[in-house]
Every structure is written in structure tokens, then in C-alpha cells.
Structure 1
Amino acid sequence: MKKILVIGPSWVGDGVMAQPLYRRLIERNPGAEVHVFAPAWTRPLLERMPEVTASHLNPFGHGALRLAERWRVARKLAAQDFDQAVVLPGSLKAALIPALAGIPKRTGFTGEMRYGLINDMRELDEDALPRMVERFCALAEAPGTAPAAPIPYPALHANSEAGAKVAARLGLDAQKPAVALCPGAEYGPAKRWPSRHFAALARAFADAGWQAWLFGSDKDAAIGEEIATLSGGAAHNLCGATSLADAIDLMGRIDLAVCNDSGLMHVAAALGKPLVALYGSSSPDFTPPLTDKARIVSLNLECSPCFERNCPLGHTDCLQKLMPQQVWDAALQLIARHPPTTTPAP
């Protein structure tokens, strides 16, 4: 039985988009075990992916070499007798662990000085593989072979019982439809729709008989509180009040999501939720929500996408000028196509 170790991404959204790769590795290697080396914050995703046999903790943050510790971690992985490693990040550090672990076949794209560490090296044709999910899946194929289209969408499964317990703990109403508003974006401010716009949207949902739940990490707590205040209490701030596991299970209970281009956007898509996806500095051509239930809203300004963490022009017009009415209209179109399971209050 073949054992494959995937050196997984560090971002939640990328972690979701890697699931089709795990599925393809098993298709090409029937009976194989797929293990994932991943940071702690992405492991709740892996627990909800039946393709993943086990996850192994990646304790190394960005920029940390810690060579002696990498050696110790690699020796523990060596005891697993993996046949192949698939390295998704493009850094030298990401390629060190499988090489130090002595994994015979180490597959990955060319990156920063990885020759020798990666011995099944692939050249990335960005034009042929414009989307990240395609690039991930290409590493399951023979060299020079594009992944078969269409690539199946990621699919996460929420635990309904756990979601009900989280809702009860947070005092949330199960009798009204709920929209998830996800105002964070770990990458940087140039991907964040303004707080005042989220607040206006929350008020519109409240007027329509919906409740608005703000999802995010503890890093988004201040933004969430600002939105809750600006909305006059129409938005319920849950940012920092849930773990990622809790958020996944609670998002299983929502009827719609409105998200920046973020990890939670990809979680909502993988849960099969109707989704309004907001794009400013980034591009849906590269990291779109992988679902048939999404409406992408973007102004497509001449200066975007710039892919910068902060607007290089200092105005972030791509999101500042994206008005709540445009997002509300997109939400109404999705609601008409995918009505909530709970009837809005009159």
C-alpha cells in the first residue's frame, strides 16, 4: 500500500483548495494513504476530508528555519515509511522536511533553490494552469500532463449536532434564516470590504427578517465589533468567539454567506452554501470560490487586481466604491435561486 505525504499550505483557503489533489492522488493510487503535514490552524479542515488518512503537525511559522528542529520532525516522519511526498508550497523550507525524512520521491514545482530537495521537479506553466486548484492537482499527474477537467469541487461536511451546540452556546436564534458575513482577510487590508459597507448590508438583512453573523478569527474581533456597532446591533459579532472547527459546524447552519476573498469564503463554498464573493485586489481567475452557487462581485477597475496587501495607490477604490446595494442585489438573486430553509420573520 502506497503512503503519500503532502506538505500542505499554510492558508485556510489554500487548504480547502488542496482537497481535490488528495482525491486525485487516491484515484491514481488505489488504496493509498494520504497524509498531510499542516499547521495547527488548518487541521480542522483535514478532519473533515475523508480522503486524508492522518495529519501531522507542522510547527514552523513563516520565516522560521530552525534546522535542528526540522531534523527532529523529519526523523519522526521517516518512521512512517512514506513512498512519496508532494510539496505544495514553493519555498526551500517546505522542501526540507521530506528530503530530511528520506522520502524517495519528492514531487513539486520549481521554487527557491530546491534542486536536489525536490527530485521529481515540475515546471509550472501558469498560462496552462491559471487557477491554484489546477496547479495543485497537476502534481498528482505524470509530468507534463494537465489535470482532467472538470476538477471536482472541494466538499467539507459540517457536524450538525456540533453546530447546534455552538449556536446554543453563543445564544443564536435557530428560528430565523442567517447570513454569514466574513469581513476578514488574513492576507491584508486590500482584500477587505469596508466595515461601513458590511454594516449597511447587515441592516438590510435585518430589515428583511434575517440575522447576520460575523465570522472571523480573533484577529478580526475589532473589525467585527466595529461592524456590529455601525450596524446598530443588526450584526452579531462572532469573530474570535469560535475555533475554525466551530466556525465550520456553525456555517453548516447558515443560509447564505457574503465573504471577502478569504479562507472562510472557500469554507462556505466547500460547504455548498450560496455565496456572494467580494473581490478587490485579488482575482477570481486565480482563486475563485469553487462552487456553482456563487455570485462574484467586483468593480474590475483598471488598477485591479494588484495582488498587494495594501493598496499601492492609497485609496482601495476597488472595494471602497463597491456599494452595499450591488452586494445586496447579488444576494437577492442567490436567495431567489436558493431559498432559506427557515422562513424570514415578517
Structure 2
Amino acid sequence: MKVDRVLVTGAGGQLGTVLVKTLRKLKGVENVLATDLHIKPEDKGLIFPLDATNEEAVAEMVLGNKITQIYHLAAILSAKGEEDPLLTWNTNLKSLFAILEVARKYNLDKIFFPSSIAVFGASAPKENTPQDAYLDPTTVYGTSKAAGEQWANYYFKKYKVDVRSLRYPGIIGYQSLPGGGTTDYAVEIYHKAVNKEPYICYLKEDTTLPMIYMNDAVRATLELMEAPAEKIKTRTSYNLNALSFTPSQVVESIKKWYPNFKVTYKEDYREAIAQSWPSSILDTQAQEDWQWQPHYLLDDISNEMITELKKKYNLHSQL
């Protein structure tokens, strides 16, 4: 029986941190090679250096480790990306081309490419945004993801490269700090709450965005990748829905554990980015093609975030 040998780029990021651990449990530590451009001291020996924009380096890593699948997570995210648009474009697209070309040349089994709700702009309905809504993103990150979706579809149709993709909403997880996304408030706010510190939110209190808990995001990724190829009907990227909420709704949920938690609202440039995105999305195709269903609601997320962050900060005995 053929053994999957998996390469993960961007493994030190928010999603990569959890996805790598899950993949290693499922496929064996020896069969999952985690890589990133920058390695944190605590990750040495667990994550290995790789510049994913360097096709030759990617090919060497793939061939030297008999890789059969790649989860290409490396990217510069939305808010961070606006600080240097050309660098973001070059990094996000050049790395994708390197991965796609290696997959094409060496007949890899599957590629995962994450997209984002950032692909949507003013032309998409704000509520219940459908799978086939027109894409006119307002950030370079969103533009790079929209272009990446088309290239993924092109490589599938022209070269039969099995590329699969999800349009992630904002991802909430306790395992690591986020890396420069517009939805990062929904992670940062829990860190402040468990440390009994006030939080200054950079979005308006009533700005609604689609979100997903980390466990659901990882499960969706693996379910998509494990689905039979004939079930995958969308080769750009699937809408992925879990729940939508506002910062004030997160605060109300947190107050069930921390009644005195204080939040003030001081919007910055990220509010304009958030306003260009959908407030809710439809993922009918994901439900129909590979039976996607989320598990976590907002209070479930709050309960798990608070429980796990208290452990992380060694706050077992207090609320």
C-alpha cells in the first residue's frame, strides 16, 4: 500500500502549527516534513528551512524526501500584506508557481492551496455570498488568492495536477498567535481576557465577519484532501462556512467567563478591509460534494479558547 509522504510549507504559521501536528498523528511523524522560511528557536528539529519561492529548493526537498503531497500554506496575509504590496504579490504567487511546477514535473498526488474570503469585494453580496460570486478583492492578499485560484484550476485542467482549495474565513485557535490577518482580533481578544487585561479592538463593534474554529478548519482541510477526486467538482476554491459574528458578540460570550472584561473600539485600516469582505457565506457546494459540516458555535469556541489559554498562561486556579 502506498504511503503518503507530505510536505507542508508555512508550517510555523497559525494554521500550519496545528495542521502539522494532526497530519503527523494520522500519517506518522516520519511521513510529514514541516518547513518554513523562518524557524523559531523552539521549532528547531521539528520544522526545517525552505524558501517556497525557490522552485529548485522545493524540488530538491520533494525528491530527497519522496514527497507525494504538498500542503502549501506559506503566504503573507491580508493586513501584513498591505504594508508591502509588491513583496506580498511576489511571495504569494512565486511560491504557488514553484509548488505547481514541482507537482506537474514530478507527478505528485495532491496539492492543497488555501484561499480566503479576501477574494471577495464590493461586487459580491455581503450576506450569503455564493460560491460563484464575482471576485474583485480590495487587498493584494485577496488579489493573490483570487489569481491563485485560477492558476490552480488551470493546472488541474491543463496538466491534471490534483489541486484542492478552501476559501477560509477567519481562523480562531489557541495554539499560536496569528500572523497579520484582518480577523486576528478574534484570537487576540481571548489572550487579553484570560490575562485580565483590557482589549482595544481595531474593528467596529458591529462588524460581522465569517469565522471558523481551528479544529473545524483543520478537519475541513483533511476531509477535502481525503475525498475521492471524482467528488471534487470545484477546482478554483470551495467556500467554507462555519459561523459569523461581531466583536461585540465575542465580548458578550467571553463575559460569561469574565464578567468584568473591558473592550474599547478604535478602528484602523483593517476596518476598511473587513468592510470589503462578506459578513456571511454559503458553502452549499462543500456540503454537497464532500459533506462538510462545522461543529463549533461561538460559546463552544470561547469555552475551549479560555480553557486552553489558561493552561498556557498557567492560570489553572483563577477566572
Q: After TM superposition, is the score higher than 0.5? A: no
The TM-score with structure 1 as length reference comes to: 0.36
Bigger Rg over Cα = 1
Structure richer in helix, relative to its length: 2
The TM-score with structure 2 as length reference comes to: 0.38
Which gives a bigger RCO, structure 1 or 2 (Cα 8 Å, sep 6+)?
2
